[in-house]
Chain A
Amino acid sequence: KQEVTQIPAALSVPEGENLVLNCSFTDSAIYNLQWFRQDPGKGLTSLLLIQSSQREQTSGRLNASLDKSSGRSTLYIAASQPGDSATYLCAVKDNNNDMRFGAGTRLTVKP
C-alpha cells in the first residue's frame, strides 16, 4: 500500500523567501504525482502534475520535481507572498487509478 508523507506539517516564512515543500512516497511504481493547494474551508486547486516519465514541471513561481527512484518530490516556491499561505498537498497515483494523498504542509507567509 502506497504511503505518502509530507514534511514539515507546518512552515512559516517571511515574505520574499524561497522555500521547498517535501513529499515522499513508499512505492516508486507511480503513474503520476500531483501537487494541490487548499485554502481553509475550500476545495483543492491543482497546481502541477508530473507524469512518471518526467523529472519536473514549472508554472510561474512554482517548480515541482520528481525522483521516482528515491520516492521523493519537491515543490519549490520562489519569492513567496502572503497570498501563497495555504495548505499544500501532494498526491500519488498508481497504475490502478488509486490516488493517495499526503496530510499536507500548512504554509504561512508573513508580510
Chain B
Amino acid sequence: DAGITQSPRHKVTETGTPVTLRCHQTENHRYMYWYRQDPGHGLRLIHYSYGVKDTDKGEVSDGYSVSRSKTEDFLLTLESATSSQTSVYFCAISEWRGPTDTQYFGPGTRLTVL
C-alpha cells in the first residue's frame, strides 16, 4: 500500500459545513493526488501536488481546495460541502522508478453529505 493512510475513513456531514480529508504517506514521495470515484464516472482527478506548497488542479477541482505544508501530508478541503460531493475519495502517490511512475492508492474515504 506504499504507506498511504487516509483519515477519516468514513464521514457524514451536512450541506454547507466545511470538511477536511487527510492523506498521509510515510515514504517521502513527491507527487500526491486526490481523486473521487462515483458510479458511472469512474475515478476523476481533483487536485494533485508535486511538492511542498506546489499544487495544481485536476479535472474536477471546482468546490475543492488542497494544501501541502509537509511532504507527508496532503489535505483536501471542501469549504462548503454539497450533496454532489458525496463520493468516495482516494489519495494516491507516484513512485518513480527510472523514467516512469506507478501510482499507488490509499484505502479511501467515504463521504456522505446530507
A interface residues, Cβ below 8 angstroms from B: 4, 31-32, 34, 36, 42-46, 49, 51, 89, 91, 97-104
Contact = CB atoms under 8 A, between A and B. Distances in A.
A46 B92 CA distance: 11
9 contacts: A4-B42, A34-B103, A44-B92, A44-B105, A46-B105, A100-B59, A101-B43, A103-B42, A104-B42
A34 B102 CA distance: 8
Interface residues of B, number: 25
- Which of B40, B102, B103 gathers most chain A CB within 10 Å? B103
A43 B99 contact: no
B40 A42 contact: no
Given A98-B45, A101-B43, A46 B103 contact: yes
- Which of A34, A44, A45 gathers most chain B CB within 10 Å? A44
Contact of A46 (B48, B104, B106, B107): B104
A51 B92 CA distance: 19
B11 to A, nearest CB: 15
A100 B41 CA distance: 11
Contacts of B50: 97
A61 B56 CA distance: 38
Contacts, number: 50
Contact of B108 (A4, A43, A99): A43
Given A97-B48, A99-B45, A51 B104 contact: no
B74 to A, nearest CB: 15
Contact of B103 (A4, A51, A99): A99
Contacts of B103: 34, 46, 91, 99
A44 B102 contact: no
A4 B68 CA distance: 30
Contacts of B34: none
B99 A51 contact: yes
A101 B42 contact: yes
A51 B97 CA distance: 11
Interface string B29-59: 0010100000011111100101000000011
Given A97-B48, A101-B43, A103-B40, A42 B102 contact: no
